[in-house]
Amino acid sequence: MSTGTEQHLPTGQSANVTERDARAVAEAAREAEWTRPSFAKGLYLGHFDMDLIHPHPVPAPKDAAAGDAFLARLEKYARTMDGARIERDAKIPDEYLAELAELGAFGMKIPVQYGGLGLSLTYYGRALMLLGSVHPSLGALFSAHLSIGVPEPVKVFGSEDQKQRFLPRCAAGAVSAFLLTEPDVGSDPARLGTTATPTDDGESYVINGSKLWTTNGVIAELVVVMAKVPAHDGGPGGISAFVVEADAAGITVENRNAFMGLRGIENGLTRFDNVTVPAANRLGGEGKGLKIALTTLNTGRLALPALCAASGKWSLKIAREWSNARVQWGRPVGRHEAVGKKIAFIAATAFALESVFELSAAMADAGMKDVRIEAALAKLWSSEMAYKVADELVQIRGGRGFETAASLAARGERAVPAEQQLRDMRINRIFEGSTEIMHLLIAREAVDAHLAAAGDLASADADLAAKARAAIGASGFYARWLPQLLAGQGMNPKSYGGFGRLAGHLRFVERSSRKLARHTFAGMGRWQAKLEHRQVFLGRIVDIGAELFAMAAVCSRAELLRSQNPAEGKSAYELADAFCLQSRERVRQLFTELWRNSDTPDRRLAGKVLDGDYTWLERGVIDPSEGTGPWISQPSEGPSTKEDQHRKYR
């Protein structure tokens, strides 16, 4: 094969991918088998099995001792770091990174035999909570490095040679990054434009293309690159994963991107021009890259719930202290019901955020359950709820919530970065799968059993004869399954009695799980193959399951805390009770909106907006973005003409 520039993907080629092609690529990459039980998958099928999450998993004593010792060292150093400096300079100081490397932070999840600390996901997440509370950019850096960067895919999919070559470097402080997104490719990998062309001798690949939003890419020493290998005589081709040296010839970090939040993040636009990568650096076989990426994300997503939990806990502290200090109309503002309602929401949600993270991480650590849906639900639910908490904190703080910490300090008041937190938390609803994409991803897994049973009945491409045959096969599955949804433990007033005042909430979860399954079946029956286009309906189905999962998590954790410390456990029960009452109202509303909504007229309205029917409504304003550039930049070919923004911190 040639290694010349003619192997670049022509501009616009990725746009030729059809909807069917895109669906096929995504479907081929998903992990279709379920060899271990899944609590969350059961929720969507009407099977609420509390035994899968309770007793709440706890770390082994040896792991807990090692984790606690590291957290003590990390907290001691974290208290010397200045988050305001990171915010002001839009950069994490090199000395911070060097000291964190000395502490072993870059190897938190890397096995001890490869130079890391070998921490569990639970303790890794707790460490992220500490770092993220100093400044969220620190959390983003370590999450990108350890959750989805080089260490995780190499640890899971790498050969022993690759582990020996890369993991010790990463543990010692070599920052890594994960490069999948492109200027015109987000969550649709079938349109991937970056290519990796094998050389004639089969010893190397030549990578060409551009990657956007490369978190850590500006300072990375090693990166995982997803690129499409053309079909060739020596292999099947397809999207493949490569570990690439960030200072290899032909790599240029063309931009260090700036955002509304995370001002210390080292995020860029990285260009590859005839970059030669040894074949020995390919992870797994050709065509396995997307499966590697998705598998990595399954547990990698748990970093975000940890950071969201940290945000919720800090918000509670500020809300409590401020609402006692600020007096209005003769009373602390927190004693006024309107503000008190917000404080109650923050307190209950903070407990739930930590509970969802702790349970998901503990289940992943135990390794006995399939947690791909739990991790996805934790990311989805936590990012949405933590942002609401951050927004409510700004509201409680009033004008001071909108004022920057630097401005508050300049006039002699406590430098509370409430507005910064709101900006920083906003990206979590987009990071590692936007809320909309997560809805579709989880919905696909949640209705997997229905699709398997329905077969061609749920296929838009099947003919009437095939659909008729599928209907006969599906009837057998539903004849066995539907009767199981009529009654369960949630109808027995004595069920879950060991949970005391929380037992009623668990009975509600059990009843709602069966109800959710019935509504999902109704949606399948009504829309069949068109169900995939009812994305708002599916989103509500997913959100109901997410709330049920959160309720189960807080009940399990409250009981764990009660068993460990009765005094603290009593408070935990109060928080769990409050959260479940709030969550039940959200669940009821979502059930109502499944069938009573404005989805159909909204869909028509959106279509007319896109067709330009209402452009008259846009008159009377000035668009400052007009003429500043195209909506999506087109990739350039040949060597980069921009100054390389890549830098080394060590």
Active site residues: 432
CA 537 – CA 515 distance, rounded (Å): 15
Which SS3 state, helix, strand or coil, does residue 242 take?
strand
Strand partners, 215: 267
- In angstroms, rounded to a whole number, what is the distance separating the alpha carbons of residues 132 and 141? 10
Residues 6+ apart with CB under 8 A from 403: 419
The H-or-E segment that residue 213 falls in is strand 204-215
Phi, psi of 623 (to 5 degrees): -100, 105
601 burial level (CB within 10 Å; 0-12, 13-18, 19+): exposed
First to last CA, the chain: 38
3 state SS for 255-304 = EECCCCCCCCCCEEEEEEEEEEEEHHHEECCCCCHHHHHHHHHHHHCCHH
Signed CA dihedral, 568, 570, 574, 579: sign only:
positive
Pairwise CA distance, residues 134 & 96, whole Å: 12
Is the backbone of residue 495 left (phi > 0), alpha (psi -120 to 50) or beta? beta
Neighbours of 72 (CB within 10 A): 9
- Which DSSP category does 398 fall into? T
As beta bridge partners, residue 282 has 242
What are 241's strand-pairing partners? Answer: 226, 283
Residue 412 structure tokens:
């002699």
Helix axes 337-366, 372-397, angle to 10 degrees: 160
Phi and psi at residue 56, in whole multiples of 5°? -60, 130
Return the axis-axis angle of helices 435-446 and 372-397, rounded to nearest 10°: 150
Residues 521 and 481: their CA atoms lie apart, in Å, by 10
Phi first, then psi, for residue 555 (nearest 5°) are -65, -45
Q: What residues are paired with 251 via a beta bridge?
A: 272
Q: How far apart are CA 239 and CA 260, in angstroms?
A: 32
Nearest to 279 by CA among 338, 216, 232, 330: 232
Rounded CA gap, 57 and 73, in Å?
25
Report the distance separating Cα 389 and Cα 346, nearest Å: 6
Both tokens of 76, joined, read 């001691």
Picking from 431, 434, 304, the residue whose alpha carbon sits closest to that of residue 379 is 304
Q: Which residue has the tokens 């990166």?
A: 223
Peptide bond into 198 cis (omega under 30): no
Cβ–Cβ under 8 Å, residues 383 and 437: no
Rg (CA), the chain: 26
